[in-house]
Amino acid sequence: MNLNELTAHELLDLIKEKKTSTAEVSQAVVKKIQATDGRIHAFVRTPAIPVSANSGAYSIPIAIKDNLCIAGEEVTCCSQILKGFRPPYDATVINKLKASGVVPLGTTNMDEFAFGSSTENSCYGPTRNPWNLDCVPGGSSGGSAAAVAAHEAIWALGSDTGGSIRQPAAFCGVVGVKPTYGRVSRYGLIAFASSLDQIGPITKDVTDAALLLKIIAGYDEMDSTSANVAVPDYLQALKNDVQGLKIGIPKEFFVDGMDAEVKESMSAVIAVLEKKGAKFIEMSLPHTEYSVATYYIVATAEASSNLARYDGVQYGIRRHPSQARRTPMIDMFEETRDQGFGREAKRRIMLGTYCLSSGYYDAYYLRGQKVRTLIKQDFDQAFKEIDAIIAPTSPTTAFRLGEKTNDPLSMYLSDIYTISANLSGIPAISLPCGFSKTGMPIGLQVMTKPFAEETMFRVAYTYEQNTEWHKRKVNL
């Protein structure tokens, strides 16, 4: 029995029965990292020796995306500009993990500042998909998803701004959850777009996702956007039954451009859930066609504002030009940002700054926010009649490394099915629902109304328990 290949809930049962220990689990995980991560590159920082055992109810090692603050540990968002930055405090989710006994294992690779859908925009180099090393793992939480899929981590944390947990989960054949906006504290998450970002679990099955969300969710006075809403026991929602639930199929998501194998998988999903008693309703989310354009206005504008703080003064690196150009301070600002930010980060900063600039604010950012409201209203209206919505997580399976790096628009469209959930603030989960003929995972997305994660987990768990996709293992 390979301990690192088991789920967290299976391991917790074994630890409770004294058939293994946290130390043995940690050793198995670190051994696997040492054996395979040279090929995958899921981690950017790992323990040199097995991590020590914690005491607590959930003492299982976890991988952490490189944009969550851990006191005294380097965190860089996989950007040159933050090299050497060590935060003096823990993110709230890290505090919650430690209080529950969960063991921080190491930090995972990501697109720089979460700008990307492939984990190729990292100053540490790309991560590879464990199912096919020539393919991307998705992004921006590609390192976390690849680590879980490759059994280099039992579970992991990621962040999701426009699909950055769900899309890599789909590409790597694991489970990823974007909670309701405000369900999980963002305190200690290095911001990309503050009105869109959410921290969430990446796990091997739905049960682990429910367990991990239960640990990290809850109100936090350190985050002004945190929702003071009671957190239910999500494990109680894991019922193999969707009898009577009304599930919507948005016609705007099932259009030309979707891979034929993805479409076939969705038809099979419907058949499984119908057999378990769900009723499917074709419905419309009429403003879906504007979601990508709206997202890349709102998200880049907020990114431009959030990244203005990285100028060589307080965080990370400081660079000076070889020859003076203007004043020493302005020269330092320019040189630091020029050398510190990668190509995609510069692209998004320029897009966002343009959208916020004088004369263009109303035409772009303000209009984008108005359309965002319409997108949210589409979902609000839909959830008056239905309990959940299903759709593909991604229109295709994982693409090849380098395939879209020179085509930003094509890359941005990789998140076409995930962006709407961030714009509207609703919860969404991705879980495996098939494999292509070439052996690449396909993801199912389940969305519900705000703070209805229990219904989301119920639908996902029912599908998972009546299929075998989540049991397939990467052979590395």
Dump pLDDT digits (tens) for 58-78. Answer: 889 999 999 999 999 999 999
Q: Is residue 140 part of a domain?
A: yes
Q: Quick count: other Cβ atoms within 10 Å of Cβ 94?
A: 24
Our answer to whether residue 65 is catalytic in this structure is yes
In-domain check, residue 358: yes
Which residue in this structure is represented by tokens 């290949």? 5
Query: pLDDT per residue over 110-148, tens digit each?
Result: 999 999 999 999 999 999 999 999 999 999 999 999 999
For residues 89 and 71, the answer to whether their CB atoms sit within 8 Å is: yes
pLDDT of residue 409: 78
**Amino acid (1-letter code) at residue 50:** P
Residues 233 and 294 in one domain: no
Q: Which structural domain range is residue 303 located in?
A: 289-370
What pLDDT is stored for residue 258 in this prediction? Answer: 87
pLDDT at 53 over 70: no
Quote the distance between the C-alpha of residue 205 and its chain's center: 15
Identified catalytic residue from 79, 140, 414, 430: 140
Q: Is residue 81 included in any domain, yes or no?
A: yes
Check if 140 is active-site.
yes
Q: Of 352, 370, 388, which closes a domain? A: 370
pLDDT of 315 reads 85
pLDDT 10s digits, 375-397: 999 999 999 999 999 999 999 99
Query: According to the model, what pLDDT value does residue 199 have?
Result: 98
Are residues 296 and 233 part of one domain?
Answer: no
Per the structure, how many domains does the chain have?
2
Helix (H, G, I), strand (E, B) or coil at 151: coil
- Per-residue confidence at 338, pLDDT binned at 50, 70, 90? very high
**pLDDT tens for residues 155-213?**
999 999 999 999 999 999 999 999 999 999 999 999 999 999 999 999 999 999 999 99
* pLDDT of amino acid 326: 84
pLDDT at 407: 85
Tell me what pLDDT residue 387 has. Answer: 98
The residues near 388 (Cβ < 8 Å, ≥ 6 apart) are: 245, 246, 247, 248, 446, 447, 448, 455, 456, 459
What pLDDT score does 48 carry?
Answer: 61
| Residue 52 in this model has a pLDDT that exceeds 90 | no
Do 230 and 307 have their domain in common? Answer: no
pLDDT tier at 333 (50, 70, 90 boundaries)?
very high
Residue 406's pLDDT band (cuts 50, 70, 90):
confident
Q: What is the pLDDT of residue 324?
A: 82
Same domain? For 209 and 341 the reply is no
Give the type of residue at 282: E
CATH of the domain at 27: 3.90.1300.10
Is 65 within a domain? yes
Same domain, 74 and 141: yes
pLDDT (tens digit per residue) in 229-278: 999 999 999 999 999 999 999 999 987 778 999 999 999 999 999 999 99
User: What's the confidence (pLDDT) of residue 414?
Assistant: 83
Q: In what order do the strands lie in the sheet with 61-65?
A: 43-45, 103-108, 61-65, 155-160, 198-203, 175-178, 428-435, 441-447, 388-392, 246-250, 279-283
pLDDT (average), residues 8-28: 94
pLDDT, position 46: 87
Whole-model pTM: value is 0.96
Q: Are 158 and 124 in contact (CB under 8 A)?
A: no
Tell me what the pLDDT averaged over the chain comes to.
Answer: 95
Q: At residue 334, does pLDDT exceed 90?
A: yes
With a CB cutoff of 8 Å and minimum separation 6, the contacts of 95 are none
Q: Which of 26, 32, 59, 65 is catalytic?
A: 65
Domain annotation covers residue 269: no
The reported pLDDT for the residue numbered 147 is: 98
User: How many angstroms from the chain centroid is the CA of residue 25?
Assistant: 25
233 shares a domain with 306: no
Does residue 421 form part of some domain? no
- Tell me: do 55 and 160 sit in the same domain: yes
CB contact at 8 A, 333 and 339? no
Give CA 337 to chain center in angstroms: 26
**Set 164, 414, 424, 430: catalytic member:** 164
Let me know if residue 275 belongs to a domain.
no
Question: Tokens 């209206």 map to which residue?
Answer: 381
pLDDT at 49: 56
Residues 134 and 232 reside in one and the same domain: yes
User: Is pLDDT above 90 for 402?
Assistant: yes
Give yes or no for residue 54 having a pLDDT over 70.
Answer: no
Q: Per the domain annotation, does 407 fall within a domain?
A: no
Residue type, 91: A
pLDDT, position 408: 83
Do 340 and 81 meet the contact criterion of CB atoms below 8 Å apart?
A: yes
Q: Which two tokens stand for residue 135?
A: 């393919």
Among 348, 370, 392, identify where a domain stops: 370
291-306 and 343-356 helices, crossing angle to 10°:
100
| Residue 294 and residue 213 share a domain | no
Say if residue 179 is in the same domain as residue 309: no
* Residues 209 and 93 grouped into a single domain: yes
The reply to whether 84 and 215 lie within a common domain is: yes
